[in-house]
Amino acid sequence: MIEVRNVTKRFGSVVAVDDLSFDARPGRVTGFLGPNGSGKSTTMRCMLGLDRANAGSASFAGRSYTSIVNPLFEVGSLLDAGFVHPGRSGRNHLRWMAMSNGIAASRVDETLELVGLTDAADRRVKAYSLGMRQRLGLAGVLLGDPGTVVLDEPANGLDPEGIRWIRDVLTHLARGGRTVLVSSHLLAEIALMADDLVVIGRGRLIEQCSVDEFVDRHSTKWVRVGSPQLDAIAVAATAVGARVERVDGQVADIHGITAAAVGEIAARDAIVLHELTTRSESLEDAFLRATAGAQEFASEAPSPVASSAPLPPPIVDRPGGGGR
Amino acid sequence: MINLLRSEVLKFRTVRLHVWLTIGAVGLLLVVVGLVGMLSSEPRRTRPDDLMSLIGGFSVLIAMTVGVLAALGITSEFSHNTIRPTLAATPQRTTVFVAKAVLSTVYGLVVGAVAVVAAYLLGSLLLSARGASVGLSGDDGSLAAFLGVPILCALLALFGYGLGLLLRNSPAAVSLIILWPLLLESILNGVLSVAGVDEPTRLLPYTSAFALVIPNPSDAPGGRIYGGVYFGMFALLITVIGIAVNNRRDA
């Protein structure tokens, strides 16, 4: 269990983290989400005692990180895969970590095998790809088989296969009862691996909830209907307060009504349907909507949400289809 | 603490730069001693303490190299951000920084001891073979200088580590280690002389420490022990300030 309470961190006049509180529970992957510059990494550094928080505290199973002797047995952390001396081999990087906490040398080889780096273990880290460095970083996290795992943007720069690998590892760790906190600035990425979300913007908590709740709360949904009798269904839907936007002669998007209600109307009025699907904005749109105004740096390019142009192809919610 | 020290030793020796610079520093002394031993024109007229004078004078460069390496050992932790996983693995900062200070000092002591023993053995072997008289004696100060080499290396390693910890910047720390005696203390010496301070060199910590490795430290008014203790206290002070500052700063 991770408990963060009222953490505040200032850099001069800039408040990077502002009275932030949240929890991460055992057995679940908690996604720590926020735009670039929102204070995720600073929060994690404060949690681990690497940055000195101006106020507040963080505890891991009831204890502050700096009070833990040999913390690799309790908390595994990876803040940046690049925090490795480039001239040292991957094996030696893990060896010094293991040695510092009294972890058996045999565990180094075990974790190297776990992350698939055995063959490259004696190569210097500067010859590693980004994906290999992430794997090495994760091997360091796993060295002490800790009950809590804290990862800062572990999928950053990884290819789809690498992202899937990270996702599978984190899910596996959480299913084993561990507390997993993983940060990202991409909701689509985090939504694939997280059960819960902590969303921050400008160092402040925006929301803590499950991924499903977050998407439900922040993404707009509508019903796409395809029918040769589109006029009839449009009239019936409008009559119950829905708003109809025609896409073409036989397809329309209906807002303010559920797919079930449209289906019942169609059945009642004997209207033929070719398509009836619930659609929603993309996860990124939901994220941008939630963090609107909380972006540290924003370009002048028009936001996809604010744009009057058609939205990018929406994600379709199908039964069992994994809409997120 | 033992685990931490073992871990720090592993970190230090698994960076090739550290290993090659150490070998280079010791090797250079051996080359100089070897050349002098082989090419000295009149070895029979060599005094017993001449070899130790040569080694002692040259060991200042080894000690400075050791200081630079100790500084690089800690500044590279900051430049490569490996200080973060280091402090994540051992969040008790004072323990980490003290362990690194101990390692740096012991490293300097060992390198200095290896260098002076190897150089003396090589020099005495070559010079003795050519009929020269070579020896270590307490009377002419050569034995004291022999023992002073590892101590100077140890103190400069501690000084370099302390500076590196305080500055967290490799170029700045390395420049300061080299320029401190050549520039800072020379200027300070001039200023103190003009100000009418009697024997100003005794107030210069770095310069005072050189008395450790000179058989006859006539230029060091405080003497050998004074120079070592004064510089040792100075190096320790820099290190303690470095630890205190880093305990407050973000990693």
Chain A residues closer than 8 Å to B85 by CB:
79, 83-84, 97, 140
The candidate with the shortest Cα–Cα distance to B141, out of B224, B228, B202, is B224
| pLDDT bracket for residue A293 (50, 70, 90) | low
The percent of residues above 70 in pLDDT, for chain B, comes to: 94
**Mutation site, B76, B92, B100, B247, interface A, largest A CB count within 10 A:** B92
A72:B248 CB<8 A: no
Tell how strand A179-184 and strand A148-152 pair up.
parallel
First to last CA, chain B: 20
Q: Is the pLDDT of residue A47 over 70?
A: yes
Q: Is the pLDDT of residue A52 over 90?
A: yes
Higher pLDDT, A181 or A294: A181
- Structurally, how many domains does chain B consist of? 1
Residue B35, in any domain of the structure? yes
| pLDDT bracket for residue B219 (50, 70, 90) | low
Task: Please give the pLDDT value at position B189.
Answer: 81
What is the mean pLDDT of the segment spanning A202-207? Answer: 91
Mean pLDDT of chain B: 87
In chain A, what are the domains? 2-217 (3.40.50.300), 221-280 (3.30.70)
The percent of residues above 90 in pLDDT, for chain A, comes to: 65
DSSP line for B52-107: HHHHHHHHHHHHHHHHHHHHHHHHHHHHTTTHHHHHHH---HHHHHHHHHHHHHHH
Chain A residues closer than 8 Å to B16 by CB:
87
Among B137-146, B162-171, B174-183, whose mean pLDDT is lowest? B137-146
What is the mean pLDDT of the segment spanning A301-313? Answer: 44
Q: Which two tokens stand for residue A112?
A: 């190297």
Chain B residues closer than 8 Å to A100 by CB:
3-4, 7, 86, 89-90
Task: Please give the pLDDT value at position B214.
Answer: 81
A99:B248 CB<8 A: no
Residue B73, in any domain of the structure? yes
| pLDDT bracket for residue A297 (50, 70, 90) | low
Higher pLDDT, B186 or B67: B67
Tell me the pLDDT tens digit for each residue of B127-145. Answer: 777 777 777 776 777 787 8
| Closest alpha carbon within chain A to B2 | A100
Pairwise CA distance, residues B32 & B120, whole Å = 12
Residue B161, in any domain of the structure? yes
Higher pLDDT, B238 or A318: B238
| pLDDT bracket for residue A93 (50, 70, 90) | very high
Interfacial residues of B (vs A; Cβ cutoff 8 Å): 3-4, 6-8, 10-11, 14-17, 76, 80-82, 84-92, 248-251
Tell me the pLDDT tens digit for each residue of A131-143. Answer: 889 999 999 999 9
Pairwise CA distance, residues B195 & B9, whole Å = 46
Residue B222, in any domain of the structure? no
Task: Please give the pLDDT value at position A182.
Answer: 94
Question: Any idea what DSSP says for residue A89?
Answer: B
Out of A63-77, A181-195, B30-44, the most confident range is A63-77
Higher pLDDT, A14 or A306: A14
Task: Please give the pLDDT value at position A315.
Answer: 39
Task: Please give the pLDDT value at position A76.
Answer: 95
Residue B207, in any domain of the structure? no
Residue B233, in any domain of the structure? no
What is the mean pLDDT of the segment spanning B190-208? Answer: 81
Q: Is the pLDDT of residue A161 over 70?
A: yes
Higher pLDDT, A154 or B217: A154
Q: Is the pLDDT of residue A296 over 60?
A: no
A66:B4 CB<8 A: no
**Mutation site, A96, A103, A128, A136, interface B, largest B CB count within 10 A:** A96
Pairwise CA distance, residues B85 & B147, whole Å = 38
The range of the structural domain enclosing residue B149 comes to 2-186+238-248
Task: Please give the pLDDT value at position A320.
Answer: 36
Compute CA distances A294 → A281, A298, B148, whole Å: 20, 9, 62
A77:B90 CB<8 A: no
How close is the nearest chain B Cα to the Cα of A186, in Å?
25
Identify the residue whose tokens are 């060599």.
B46
Out of A62-71, B117-126, B177-186, the most confident range is A62-71
What is the mean pLDDT of the segment spanning B181-198? Answer: 83
Q: What is the total residue count of chain B?
A: 251
What is the mean pLDDT of the segment spanning B36-47? Answer: 73
Task: Please give the pLDDT value at position A322.
Answer: 35
Residue B218, in any domain of the structure? no
Mean pLDDT of chain A: 86
Among A201-205, A225-229, B165-169, B207-211, whose mean pLDDT is lowest? B207-211
B16:A97 CB<8 A: no
A84:B82 CB<8 A: yes
Q: Is the pLDDT of residue A303 over 50?
A: no
B88:A50 CB<8 A: yes
Helix locations, A224-322, DSSP H: 230-239, 259-268, 283-290
Bridge partners of residue B10, in order along the sequence: none
Tell me the pLDDT tens digit for each residue of B77-125. Answer: 999 999 999 999 999 999 999 999 999 999 999 999 999 999 989 988 8
Higher pLDDT, B200 or A148: A148
Residue B83, in any domain of the structure? yes
Pairwise CA distance, residues B174 & B171, whole Å = 5
Q: Is the pLDDT of residue B212 over 90?
A: no
| pLDDT bracket for residue B187 (50, 70, 90) | confident
What is the mean pLDDT of the segment spanning A294-317? Answer: 46
